[in-house]
Each structure stands twice: as structure tokens, then as C-alpha cells.
Amino acid sequence: MMVQQLAGKVAVVTGAGRMRSIGRHIARALAQAGAAVVVTGTGRHPDAYPSDEKAAGWRDIESVVDEIRALGGRCLPLVSDIRNEGAVENLVTRTREEFGRIDIVVNNASAARGDDRLPVTETSLDAWRRVFATNVEGPFLLSRMAAREMVLQKQGGSIVNISSVVSKLPTANSAAYAASKAAINAMSRCMALELGPAGIRVNAVCPGLIDTSRLDDVERGENWDRYVQATIPLGCSGDGSEIAEMVLFLVSDRGKWITGQAINVDGGAVWGN
């Protein structure tokens, strides 16, 4: 029987409602390791679900919670807007009321691909602000309030921000996204320096190409396969489970001497950053 290395811990994972997603893998991994998990999502309308979710009868965060409970885990689903300070305060309060504490935060929610994926000269200020509101302001709000709770608890804690290798190796037509993820890396480092004396570790994980529903606007097939083979030394994209394993390592005692880092998990695509 696998040792439950997170037994007694309470984790919050944002953006965990999609069937093909990093967040779902993270929430399940932390729950299987023994943590009580608060799973958040935006409350998507079913009409917005991709075809595979509709065919599977997927129910966003409720389906993730069903999976965790079927494994014997404790879980709380909460629809929350991390861009809203009041909603974040409610999220942390509900977590404390339900489970008594907060030990782990995984800021996984990220702005959907859209009208920000244009040259800078064609990117609107509204699109830029939309990306930064979700990718930077949201993690700032949740990390700030959760860290306050962890400091008061005096038992340390761990915050992991899901960044991207694009933060280190930006590509054309991704300025808003790349800049927002670079900001997350910097914020993670600053918080690690500030919170280290309280035993709170803060790291960023930088995924490479992960085959999730976020990339459904990119056609799969020969072009996809050629790109993967040309850019990823291991010859395959990730599915999200690889990111979950790194997060689990960082938030457990196995990662107890790691903080302030931005760690690539990308099949070898980025080197030297």
C-alpha cells in the first residue's frame, strides 16, 4: 500500500474542472497522496464543453470530485473567480471552515487561448488585461491570502504556481501569455524569499507541450506529430500527469529543500533556463 505522504494536509487546486487538463491530474494526485482537496473551476456552462466532455457526460469540477471521492478521498468543489478578491477570500474561508486549515495551494487556473495570441501590434489592451487578470492577479490574490493563513498556522506550507516554458523561451504571437508566466516566475521567487523563514516554500512548475483541451484550436495529425518530433527530444507531448507528479514531489516532504525555483517539465524541449 502506498504511503499517504500528504495525510492530514489540505490543498487548494484552481482550474481543475476540465476532463483533459493539468488541474484534474494534480487534484487526483494530491488526493491519492492523502490530502483533502478543494477543487475550483469557473462554473462553465455545459454548452461550452468540448465534444469529448459532452459525450462522456462530464460535469466539470463535480466530475473531478466524484473521482476523488470514489478513491476514498475528501474533496470540496467550489466555483470561484480567482480574479475577484472577494471570491478568493470566500475560497480561503470555505476551505478553513470545511477542513480547518490550508497547507498547499496550486495556482493552476490560466486564461484560455484567444484574442491575445496575436502580434503585439495587433493585441488589444483588453486582451492583455484579461490574460494578466487570470494568470497573474489571480495567483497573487490566492497566494497572498493563503500565505497569511499558513503563517498564522506556524506549520509551514507549500505554494506551486503553474507557469510555462514559454516564460523562458517566448514565441511569436504570445506576448501577453509569455509575459504573464514570466511574472509568475518572478512572483514565486519573491514569495519564496519572503516566506522561507516561516517554512513556506514557493515554486513554479513550467510545463512544455501538454495535450489538453486548452489546445483544441490546434489541429492534431501530421503537422502536430512533426512539430512534436522536431521540438521535444523525448518525442512525445505530455498529458498532464507528468506535471502532477512534479507538483506532488514539491509539496511533499520529498521537496522540503526546494523553494524559489521555476522547474521545467517539458520532455527536454528547453535547456539552460
Is residue 8 packed enough to be buried (19+ CB in 10 Å), middle (13-18) or exposed (0-12)?
Answer: exposed
Helices (H) and strands (E) in the chain, counts: 9, 7
CATH number belonging to the domain at 10-265, selected among 3.30.200.20, 3.40.50.300, 3.90.1150.10, 3.40.50.720: 3.40.50.720
SS3 call for 196:
helix
Which residue spans within 188-257 are E strands per DSSP?
200-207
Report the chain's mean pLDDT, rounded to a whole number.
95
pLDDT, position 92: 98
Exposed, middle or buried: residue 161 (CB in 10 Å: 0-12, 13-18, 19+)? buried
pTM given for the model: 0.96
Contact 68, 27 (CB under 8 A): yes
Residues catalogued as catalytic: 177
Query: For residue 1, what pLDDT is reported?
Result: 40
In the predicted model, residues of the chain with pLDDT beneath 50 are 1
- pLDDT digits 0-9 by tens, 33-69: 999 999 999 998 899 899 999 999 999 999 999 999 9
